[in-house]
Structure 1
Amino acid sequence: PTSPAAAGCTATYRSAGQWSGGFQGDIEVTAGRTPIRGWTVTWTLASGQRVTQAWNATLTSSGSTVTARNASYNGTLGAGAKATFGFLGSGSGANPTPSCTATF
């Protein structure tokens, strides 16, 4: 699923793999018509899911809400440019619909 354009960027989730008790997800962040200096993506995990590992972003969790912030090397994006990060999770359930907020 793709988030609507929000504050200068969109986020698209793609399932990169699923197995008994776990899954891998990739999220692509795309800048809008204006260059951005940073991005934050949030989504809600299904009941019983949790993130166990992530790369190309810094992830924090509070309850079922996950927040991903750009790494030092992939936050600045030109208009229309993309950055991708991934994560491993445990549990099963519906795929998340992420939302994206940009820093200008």
Structure 2
Amino acid sequence: MASTDDNGVAGYDILRAPGASGGTFTQVGTSTTTSFSDTGLTPSTTYRYQVRARDAAGNTSPVSNTAELTTQPGPSSGTCTTVPTVQTQWGTGYVIQPLTITNTGTSTITGWTATFTLPAGHTLSGSWNGTATVSGQTVTIRNVSHNGTLAPGASTTSVGFQATRPNGNTALPSGYTCA
């Protein structure tokens, strides 16, 4: 640190430049810890960052080495719906197939995520043609490579899942959403 006094680090200046090369580094924030969250970035865009330490007297260190990152792709520009169809059910379980995902927007979507809530005591026991994750009673199913791109008005009906439930409980999942 370019400090000439005995003050410790009081904070950090975070500098950012656009792109993988060129552009000017400008200060985009400060932090009193070694963490910083940069918000409002453009999807699928490369940024470069540098950091410099600052002491209580305002002295600053030379900038750090440059770190580069590329933001994740943004959401598709379309909208979608998720409609379940009960194929079969029995005392301790059921199958939802198809779980129809339809692009209701005016532009092609290149990925979708369906979310719904399992009733208390129900457990997802299998799924197909989607990548399923469970958190508590919330199930999230994301497209796989062959069914993620949907033109306006198009649907995929290849997605489905099976769940178990306590014997005699006839409740079914609810709160279906699509993004």
TM-score normalised by L of structure 1? 0.86
What CA distance in whole angstroms lies between the structure 2 residues aligned with 1:51 and 1:45? 8
The match for 2:92 is 21
1:2-26 Cα offsets, whole Å, 9 max, x none, are: xxxxx61111011111012010012
Does 1:54 find its partner at 2:54? Answer: no
Q: What do you get for the CA RMSD once the two structures are aligned?
A: 1.2
Structure 1 unmatched ranges of 5 or more = 1-6
What CA distance in whole angstroms lies between the structure 2 residues aligned with 1:95 and 1:45? 5
The match for 1:96 is 174
Q: How high is the sequence identity, in percent, across the aligned residues?
A: 38
> Residue 174 of structure 2: SS of its match in structure 1?
coil
Larger Rg: 2
Structure 2 unmatched ranges of 5 or more = 1-77
Letter in 2 for 1:49: H
What CA distance in whole angstroms lies between the structure 2 residues aligned with 1:65 and 1:95? 10
The match for 2:112 is 39
8 Å contact 2:116–2:173 — kept in the other structure?
A: no
8 Å contact 1:45–1:96 — kept in the other structure?
A: yes
What CA distance in whole angstroms lies between the structure 2 residues aligned with 1:63 and 1:16? 24
Letter in 1 for 2:128: W
The match for 1:70 is 143
In the TM superposition, what is the alpha-carbon distance from 1:96 to its structure 2 partner?
2.0
8 Å contact 1:13–1:97 — kept in the other structure?
A: no
The match for 1:86 is 160
Greater percentage in strand:
1
TM-score normalised by L of structure 2? 0.51
> Residue 13 of structure 1: SS of its match in structure 2?
strand
| Matched length | 95
What CA distance in whole angstroms lies between the structure 2 residues aligned with 1:94 and 1:77? 27
The match for 2:102 is 30
